[in-house]
Amino acid sequence: MVIVRWILYVLIVLVAVISGGWAALALWYQAPGGQVVRVVAAVTWVIFVLTVLALIWARRGGVPIAAYVLAYVILLAWWSTIVPSNHRDWADDVARSLTGNVDGNHVTLYNVRDFNWRSDEDYDAHWETRSYDLDQLASADIILSSWGMPGISHALVSFGFSDGSHVAFSVEIRRQRGQSFSSIGGFFKRFERTIVAADERDIIRVRTNVRGEDDRLYTLRMDKPAMKALFLAYVKEANELAAKPAYYNTATSNCVTIVYGMAKQIDPGLPYDYRLLLTAYLPSYLYQVGALDTRYPLAVLTQQGDITARARASGPGDDFSRAIRTPPEP
């Protein structure tokens, strides 16, 4: 009986620690009120969980368990009332929602971002309406931007056209003014999700030249129908988010998993892989499934795709997209 009691208590502890830890973080990030209120709510919940465990250990019957279950049900009911919105005081770079109109092979994108960045706080904000002929699609590249977090990079997909123009799509958090990114907060309805379409001089250069990130570009092996389908999938997702907002989730709806979901519509046999979460290792996954040029070793593609120095060396009057794709003279 003693062994059974110990096993039962260990199971209860595991359930309480996991569920109680999740609830404490939920209160930490979402309890109404200021930071002090959120801290007090989270600490109070932790004390409550520890008290319940102590009472169970003291053989106080099912009352503490029932109290915990009731409290948890109430907390989940509160959690369900936290819903996404498109109407908040957004940061300037995500202030507008991307939408698109599709007319055959012609696509008009509204609110394409074309900021001129001098720093994260100093920039010229500019939004445009741009039209694209999908018959003129010539390339699709994935750009991975790393800011030093082990195993994690941000992924963008850029489409090139026969006239040399490019438009890059990025699945991002929609920050409110004054907010900063938190990977843990991304599990707890901290941020809405948005899709940004932008000029490469904006969305890549702000990472390499302003934020000091390291960027690598890999050209995807895709035929034109697949490129069209992926482009239109971005437009469809953007229109859906504009009509019905959704939360960003660090694991299930981030910059890569959304693209994976789109790609699955093109190739249903595309396997899921841990490298879709540990995005710094995404190139090896793309190489394995044949989405990169396998005539060359991956290490060569990675070296050739390092565009950081080229981006930082580009001048105001340069063709930025051409500059980052032109290797330096030997």
Report the SS3 class of residue 103: strand
Q: Does 215 have pLDDT greater than 90?
A: yes
Phi, psi (degrees; rounded to nearest 5) at 109: -105, 130
Could you tell me the pLDDT band of residue 9, with boundaries at 50, 70 and 90? confident
> How far from each other are the two terminal CA atoms of the chain, in whole angstroms?
77
Q: How far is CA 271 from CA 22, 79, 254, in A?
A: 29, 33, 17
Strand partners, 215: 145
Q: How far is CA 50 from CA 13, 157, 207, 287, in A?
A: 9, 47, 44, 48
Least confident of 65-79, 226-240, 245-259, 278-292: 245-259
| Six-digit token string for 60 | 């106080």
- Per the rule left: phi > 0, alpha: psi between -120 and 50, beta: everything else, 146 is beta
Q: Does 60 have pLDDT greater than 80?
A: no
Helices then strands, each counted (H, E), the chain? 11, 10
Q: pTM of the full predicted structure?
A: 0.90
- Asked if 120 and 135 count as a contact pair (C-beta separation under 8 A), the reply is no
pLDDT in tens, 256-296: 787 878 777 667 778 888 888 888 889 999 999 999 999 99
